[in-house]
Structure 1
Amino acid sequence: MLEPKQDRSAEELGESLVNEATMKEIGQTEPDGGEASLLLPVPDLIDSVRRHLNAQKPILDDDQFRKTELLSHFFKYGIGKDLHEELGTLDELHQDTSYISAMWIEAFLALRDSIAFHSNAAPAFQANPKPEQNDQLTRVTNLTISSIQLLKTFRAGSLEPEVMHLYPEKTDNEQFKKLIQFISPDLVCMAASVVSTYPLDMSQFYRLFNTTHIPLNKDDLVTDESRCTFWCYEMEMFMSLMSWMIMVIS
């Protein structure tokens, strides 16, 4: 999450909320640049069965492997063929994201376990190196303003792409960013991987805000960008920042 440009006390932050609305938005690159090349193709059925058998062979005896091979044959030319055709149709209907996205999200939404790091992603923040910035009110105010800055930048289409650099000292620089802009969006991910740099899929970034999980028979995520409330949770209590204050900041 972005940090405010200046460290200020809670009182100073409270007095300057209106001024925060005029802060210059950061980022230069469109967030969807090159994401077409991030879409996963539907894997070939015959190749998938072959790879499955290759993975099973070292751990099965001859009799077990023959049975697995026979079942794989029936699957490949039976229900597997039908399922593969349905998967291809589903992929054609959702060209904006990978075929696996909905299934992947639903798998997490269907979890009913307690929230834990082993099954749910969660941000963790280090303490500010300046002790005076670590009191609760200042910390929450900083994070609130930073969150709104991130939201504004994303909706303006100016958020810099998320990229994983295996060797940041070589590729995380302005020279690489300028060079990669001249590569076709369909090839940019392949080209970046040559130098061990991997753009990340940002198609779900819009769910970072204004989104809630509704646990019904079929779980769903609902996004409503018209809402304007900031919720805080502490000691089993929910608190909301008033809508008019959010509007002033944003």
Structure 2
Amino acid sequence: NAWIGCIYYRFKKFQSFVCSRSSLAGDDYQFLQRSVIPTYHFQKSLRRLPIPKLSDTCNRCESSSYVELKGVKFVFLFRFLASAKVVLNDAVYSRTEGTVRSFEQTEGQELQKALIDYDRNHKDTSYISEPWFDMYLRSRLPCPVNFNPFMMYAPDPDARFNHQLSRATNFAISFARFRRALDNNMLAPEVFHLNPKKSDTKLFRNVCK
């Protein structure tokens, strides 16, 4: 009986190993998502962002950042003039406003024209897409502080997986699963459902595919 019990134990252990290996090799694990709606199904229906008028931009803005795109430097003005006016004294605000007005009448005109020409030649996307993605993906600087105030990941519900090595391993595996789903057009497209009870359903996904 002891011999039979030993064989049975080894068989169950081997069976568990085979099942775990097969589950890891299956598509349900290899792909983070397996959406029936292709990832870029709605891409052509997305509206292109309009380029704001230079005067509107300057009236809302206070600081500029240069971004080089295919050899052309564009100026993107960050919209915080109203906020700046609250915290700056009159003298500093007056100097800053003068700089913005000077820019609007000089190099701003040329840069606005270059931006419009670039947008006209890239009708497949919005003018902001390439520099926006380059900012996050091309730069080797840490994302927190340089591009985002901070980044935070929620702790795993299972305390056993909150060890730094386990979390790093799971992140790497999840990134690979995400990339595989994206490359195979299986990552679910982001849809903002105005009425989820009617549209965020299995019927909706089956009709759209």
TM-score, normalised to structure 1's length? 0.44
Partner of residue 39, structure 2: 31
Matched, 1:50 2:78: no
Partner of residue 110, structure 1: 139
Partner of residue 97, structure 1: 125
Given candidates 85, 88, 96, the residue that maps to 2:113 is: 85
Q: Contact 2:36–2:205 (CA<8 Å) still a contact in 1? A: no
CA distance in 2, matches of 1:41, 1:80: 17
Q: Contact 2:28–2:34 (CA<8 Å) still a contact in 1? A: no
CA distance in 2, matches of 1:60, 1:131: 50
Partner of residue 26, structure 2: 20
TM-score, normalised to structure 2's length? 0.51
5 Å matches for 1:217-228?
Answer: none
Name the aligned partner's letter for residue 122 of structure 2: H
| Alpha-carbon spacing, 1:157–1:57, altered in 2? closer, same or farther (3 Å) | same
CA distance in 2, matches of 1:27, 1:45: 42
3-state SS of 1:16 partner: helix
Matched, 1:11 2:17: yes
CA distance in 2, matches of 1:46, 1:69: 13
Partner of residue 175, structure 1: 199
Given candidates 55, 65, 74, the residue that maps to 2:102 is: 74
Name the aligned partner's letter for residue 22 of structure 2: S
Task: Give the structure with the larger helix fraction.
Answer: 2
What count of residue pairs does the alignment treat as equivalent? 165
| Alpha-carbon spacing, 1:22–1:131, altered in 2? closer, same or farther (3 Å) | closer
Q: CA shift at 1:125, angstroms? A: 7.6
3-state SS of 2:58 partner: helix
CA distance in 1, matches of 2:102, 2:108: 8
Name the aligned partner's letter for residue 199 of structure 2: Q
Name the aligned partner's letter for residue 79 of structure 1: E
Percent of residue pairs bearing the same amino acid type: 20
CA deviation string 1:29-85 (max 9, x = no partner): 232244453643222211011122752443445554444443333211210011111
3-state SS of 2:110 partner: helix
Name the aligned partner's letter for residue 139 of structure 2: A
Name the aligned partner's letter for residue 45 of structure 1: L
3-state SS of 2:116 partner: helix
Name the aligned partner's letter for residue 31 of structure 1: T
